């Protein structure tokens, strides 16, 4: 794996230990071009940087050495860790981002990212679930790497969490079954005006009416397990 050095002066001079590195944080650059991104990441005025930048062709540039603390995470929190710069490697992916025309990440870019992440995972014993997006650790102010980032693909390489789609689909079918049974129970009780085959505002109002009577402290208009169980109890 070829890595080009183009070091930034923006980092904390104090070295950290290998065991301090517990996370990899993935960002997008959110700027018009790769050149602009590199200029900003190297400009002392902006006080931002990253350890690695991966461009759209898949070229990897190291901008801060792993042993140094790059300024990429900012105000952030994950598990018991706060302000994750000290405990993470920051990777920037060249992408215009939501502000300038959010792009799909390129095939070569993701291919290089996977290689880089595998290397970092092995080198620092980073757990699969500790590969994170900037928006995971700073959800109130950040949206990167965004909805087009292929977390599912990375998970097939044991990088980042993903869910069991079959199990989730089964759960969804259970929820639909509960909705059907709930409205069946309402019909038994005498409620009308709803359409159990179609979600609409009338259904929500009928659910709210039921909850106003039986769950006055939890009027959401949604069929949660307790709402369903009450309807089942009243009709069994």
The tens digit of pLDDT for each residue in 126-157 reads 999 999 999 999 998 999 999 999 999 999 99
Q: Are 87 and 81 in contact (CB under 8 A)?
A: yes
Of the residues 34, 36, 92, 172, which is catalytic? Answer: 92
| Whole-Å CA distances, 193 to 186, 202, 209, 212, 220 | 11, 7, 11, 16, 18
Report the pLDDT value the prediction gives residue 177, as an integer from 0 to 100: 87
> Do 85 and 24 form a contact (C-beta atoms < 8 A)?
no
CA dist list (Å): 4 to 7, 61, 107, 199 = 9, 5, 20, 54
Residue among 195, 231, 229 at smallest CA distance from 210: 231
Average pLDDT, the chain: 93
- State the pLDDT at residue 190: 85
Going by pLDDT thresholds of 50, 70 and 90, the confidence category of residue 199 is confident
Q: 86-124: b or e for each residue (b if 16 or more CB lie within 10 Å)?
A: ebbbbbbbbbbbeeeebbebbeebbebbbebbeebbeeb
Told to judge if 92 belongs to the known catalytic residues of this protein, a careful annotator would answer yes
Instruction: Specify the domain boundaries for CATH 3.40.80.10 within the chain.
Output: 3-155
Tens digits of residue pLDDT in 74-126: 999 999 999 999 999 999 999 999 999 999 999 999 999 999 999 999 999 99
The pair of structure tokens assigned to 114 is 């996977």
Is 62 within 8 Å of 56 (Cβ atoms)?
Answer: no
Q: Angle at CA 175, nearest 5°, toward 173 and 179?
A: 115
Distance between CA atoms of 172 and 135, rounded to whole angstroms? 26
Which pLDDT does position 90 carry in this prediction? 98
Non-local CB neighbours of 53 within 8 Å, separated by 6+ positions: 29, 34, 37, 38, 41, 60, 61, 63, 91, 92, 93, 94
> What superfamily in CATH does domain 3-155 come from?
Peptidoglycan recognition protein-like (3.40.80.10)
- Please say if the pLDDT value at position 175 is more than 80: no
């Amino acid at each position: 794996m070829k890595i080009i050095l183009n070091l930034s002066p923006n980092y904390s001079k104090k070295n950290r230990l290998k065991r301090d590195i517990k996370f990899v944080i993935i960002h997008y650059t959110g700027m018009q071009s790769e050149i602009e991104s590199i200029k900003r990441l190297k400009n002392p005025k902006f006080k931002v940087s990253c350890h690695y930048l991966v461009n759209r062709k898949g070229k990897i540039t190291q901008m801060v050495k792993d042993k140094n603390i790059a300024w990429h995470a900012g105000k952030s929190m994950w598990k018991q860790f706060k302000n994750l710069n000290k405990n993470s490697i920051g990777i920037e992916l060249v992408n215009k981002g939501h502000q300038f025309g959010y792009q799909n990440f390129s095939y070569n870019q993701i291919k290089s990212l996977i290689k880089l992440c595998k290397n970092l995972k092995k080198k620092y014993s980073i757990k699969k679930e500790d590969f994170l997006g900037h928006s995971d650790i700073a959800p109130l102010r950040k949206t990167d790497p965004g909805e087009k980032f292929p977390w599912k693909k990375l998970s097939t390489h044991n990088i980042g969490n993903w869910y069991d789609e079959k199990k989730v689909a089964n759960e969804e079918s259970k929820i639909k079954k509960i909705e059907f049974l709930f409205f069946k129970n309402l019909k038994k009780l005498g409620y009308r005006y709803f359409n159990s085959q179609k979600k609409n505002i009338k259904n929500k109002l009928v659910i709210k009416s039921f909850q106003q009577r039986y769950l006055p402290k939890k009027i959401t208009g949604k069929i949660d397990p307790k709402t369903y169980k009450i309807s089942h109890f009243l009709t069994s």
